[in-house]
Structure 1
Amino acid sequence: MKAYGFTEYGNSDTQDFLDLDTPSPMPGELLIEVKASGVNPVDWKIRSGHLREFQERDMPAVLGSEVSGVVRKVGQDVDGFTEGDEVFGTVAPNSGSFAEYTLTPATATSHKPAHVSFTDASTLGVAGATAYDGVTQLGLQKGQTLLINGISGGVGVAAAQIARDLGINVVGTASPDKQELIESLGAILVPYGDGVADRIRQIMPDGVDAIFDLAGGDGLRAVVELLTDRTKLITAADPGTAEELGGHQIERDRTSRVLDAVASLVADGKLDPHVEDIIALDDAPDALAAVEKGHAKGKVVIQVG
C-alpha cells in the first residue's frame, strides 16, 4: 500500500512516501480502507520525537492519527462490525492513517452516520473527541465563560461550538486573521501577543471561569492570571507548564461513546468541523506543513479514497 510517514525522528526532512505491505488486524482490531484522514499537531509532534517517551514507533512509521473509511477485515474477538461498514475513529498503536489502509482498535471506532461525510468524520477521532472531552470535563454551567487559548485549530473550533451549545460564553486567543472564523462560531477573538491578558480583561473584567489550553508555554503563562480557580485549567498541548501553574492535562476518554456523541452533534448540525482544506495523499507534505506552521484555520484533511 502507499503511505506517507517518516524514517527517523526529526524535522520534516525525515518524512517520505512509503511502499508497505497492507497490515492485518490483530485481535480486537479492524482493517480500514482509508477514505480520509484528519491532520493534527500531534502528528508532527510524534515525528519530531516530542512524544517518544509515550509513543515509541517502529521505523518506518506512518503518520496520521484519526481516520474515516470502510472496514475491510475484522480481527478476532470483535463484535459489532462487519466488512463494508463505514466507520471513523483513531488508529491502533504503531499504525498511521496517511495511507491507503490502516488499523483501528474496535473500542476506538464507531459507525459513521449516513449523512455525515467521510471528510467531516475523519476529523472527529482526535480533534472532535478531544474538544468534547475537554469541555465536558470542565463542567461549566450555562452563562459561565471559557477561554480557549489557541482557538483557531481543529480542537479549538470544535470546543467553541460544543461550549456554545451548552450556553457557555467563549473567548479565544488567535491571530487577527482568524477573526471571521472565530466570530462565526459565536466566540470573541482576542489577538494573542503582548498585553493579551489586559485585552481580555477589557471584555471580562472579572476574568474567566475556565481555560482550555491548546497553545502551552508562554502563551499559557500570559493568560493564566485571568483564572482564579486553577483546577479549571486544562491543557491538550503542554502538561508540564499547566501543572506548574496549578492546572492539569486533559483526561481523554478514547472510547466509541465519545465518538458517537460528537458524530451526533455533526449529524444534528450543532458541530461543523470547519474543514479548511482537502488535500490529496500525493500532497501530504503540504497538509502536514500547514498544520505544523500554524497556518490552518479549522481542519486540514488528507483525502485518500
Structure 2
Amino acid sequence: MPLAYVHARFGGPEVEHFADLPRPAPGPGQLLVAVRAAGVNPVDWKRRSGRRPRGAPVVRLPAVMGGEAAGEVVAVGSGVAGFAVGDAVLGGPLTGGYARFTLFAADAVVRKPPEVAWTDAAVLPIAAATGYGAVRQLGLRAGATLLVTGVGGGVGVAAAQVAAHLGLTVVGSASAGKREFVESLGVRHVASGPGLTARVRAAAPQGIDGVLDLVGGEVLREAAALVADPAKVVSGADREAVGALGGAPVGPVRDPALLGAVVELVRAGALDPRVTRVVPFAQAPEAVRAVEGGHTVGKVVLEMPPAP
C-alpha cells in the first residue's frame, strides 16, 4: 500500500495527512510511475483550501497533493507507444505527485535526460514551464527590457534566465532580503513595496518593453503603466485585472513540446531551476508550510524514498 500525502476535505493545514492508498493501475494511454521527487507549489495548498481557477477540473476527495513530479515508469497502460518500464519521465501527474506511485498521461510527459537531476526535473512542469511560456508569449526582441514582478519565486527564477538566454535585459522586483539571490540570476533587482515605479525607472532609464507580473493587484497596475503597449503585459497572478488593462494571462503550460524545450535548456546548462531546499517525503507538512508562508527563495522539492 503506497504512502501518499492527501487532504480528505477542503480547509487549512489541519486537513492534510499521510494515507495508505491502493496502488493505482494504469488505464489506456497512462503510465504508472514510481515518484523520485515532487515539486511543491503555491497551487498545491490553494487547491487544498478549496480554490479552483475557472475551467480547472473538479478536485475529487481524498486528493493526493502535488501537481508536478518526476520518476521511473513501472507499468504501461494499453495503447501506449514510445515508453517502457524503467524510463525516466517528468510531467504533471493525474493522481497527485506527493505519493510513492502516481499516474501520468503518456502523451503529456517527457523523458528526463541523465544529465538532469531528479530534484531539478521535478520542478520543471509548473514553475519553469510557466516562466518559459510567459517569456515566449511576450515575444520581445533581443535587446528589449523585461520587468518581472515577484522575480524571486520559482516562475520568476525560470523566466529571468530564459529571458537572459534570449538576449533580454531583466529588471525584477522582490523583497530586499532576496536581493543577492535575484542578482545572482543576472537580474537588476528593485525592492518591492511603495514607490516601485520610481525604482524601476531608475534601474531601467531606457524604459520597460514588457512585463511579466507574478504578484497581481496594485503591483500589476503600477507595472503595466510603465509599458507603452498594453499587449506586452502578461500576468500569472491576476487574470481579470490584466485583461482589463489590455494585457493577457499567462497561457496554458501543460504542453509536452514546451516542457521538452525547458528540459533541453536545463540539460544544456542554460537554465537552473534553483532548487534551494530538498525535503524528505516524511517531512511533507513542513515543505508545504514553507511554500504556503510565501517567503521561500527558489524551489522546494519533496524527495521520495526508493520504491518498495
TM range (shorter): over 0.9
C-alpha displacement at 1:234, in angstroms? Answer: 1.0
Matches within 5 A, 1:85-164: 85-92=87-94, 95-164=95-164
C-alpha displacement at 1:249, in angstroms? Answer: 1.1
SS in structure 2 opposite 1:262?
A: helix
Residue matched to 1:63:
65
Matches within 5 A, 1:201-280: 201-205=201-205, 207-280=207-280
Give, in whole Å, the separation in 2 of the partners of 1:76 and 1:237.
Answer: 38
Give, in whole Å, the separation in 2 of the partners of 1:96 and 1:218.
Answer: 33
Residue matched to 1:47:
48
Residue matched to 1:81:
83
SS in structure 2 opposite 1:46?
A: helix
C-alpha displacement at 1:61, in angstroms? Answer: 0.5
Give, in whole Å, the separation in 2 of the partners of 1:18 and 1:48.
Answer: 18
User: What letter matches 1:246 in structure 2?
Assistant: G
Structure 1 consecutive aligned stretches of length 4 or more whose deviation exceeds 4 Å: none
Give, in whole Å, the separation in 1 of the partners of 2:152 and 2:53.
Answer: 26
Matches within 5 A, 1:156-195: 156-195=156-195
Give, in whole Å, the separation in 2 of the partners of 1:77 and 1:8.
Answer: 34
C-alpha displacement at 1:75, in angstroms? Answer: 1.4
Give, in whole Å, the separation in 1 of the partners of 2:243 and 2:206.
Answer: 23
C-alpha displacement at 1:220, in angstroms? Answer: 1.4
State whether residues 188 and 203 of structure 2, in contact with CA within 8 Å, keep that contact through their aligned partners in structure 1: no
SS in structure 2 opposite 1:59?
A: coil
Give, in whole Å, the separation in 1 of the partners of 2:188 and 2:203.
Answer: 9
C-alpha displacement at 1:52, in angstroms? Answer: 5.9
Give, in whole Å, the separation in 1 of the partners of 2:253 and 2:203.
Answer: 33
User: What letter matches 2:273 in structure 1?
Assistant: P
State whether residues 171 and 204 of structure 2, in contact with CA within 8 Å, keep that contact through their aligned partners in structure 1: no
Residue matched to 1:196:
196
State whether residues 107 and 255 of structure 1, in contact with CA within 8 Å, keep that contact through their aligned partners in structure 2: no
C-alpha displacement at 1:206, in angstroms? Answer: 5.2
List gaps (5 residues or longer) in structure 2.
none
Give, in whole Å, the separation in 1 of the partners of 2:221 and 2:11.
Answer: 27
List gaps (5 residues or longer) in structure 1.
none
SS in structure 2 opposite 1:222?
A: helix
Residue matched to 1:14:
15
Give the TM-score of the pair, scaled to structure 1: 0.96
Give the TM-score of the pair, scaled to structure 2: 0.95
Residue matched to 1:292:
292
Give, in whole Å, the separation in 1 of the partners of 2:255 and 2:192.
Answer: 34
Q: What root-mean-square deviation, in Å, do the aligned CA atoms of Structure 1 and Structure 2 show?
A: 1.3
Give, in whole Å, the separation in 1 of the partners of 2:247 and 2:53.
Answer: 23
State whether residues 26 and 76 of structure 1, in contact with CA within 8 Å, keep that contact through their aligned partners in structure 2: yes
Residue matched to 1:38:
39
Give, in whole Å, the separation in 2 of the partners of 1:296 and 1:114.
Answer: 28
C-alpha displacement at 1:17, in angstroms? Answer: 1.3
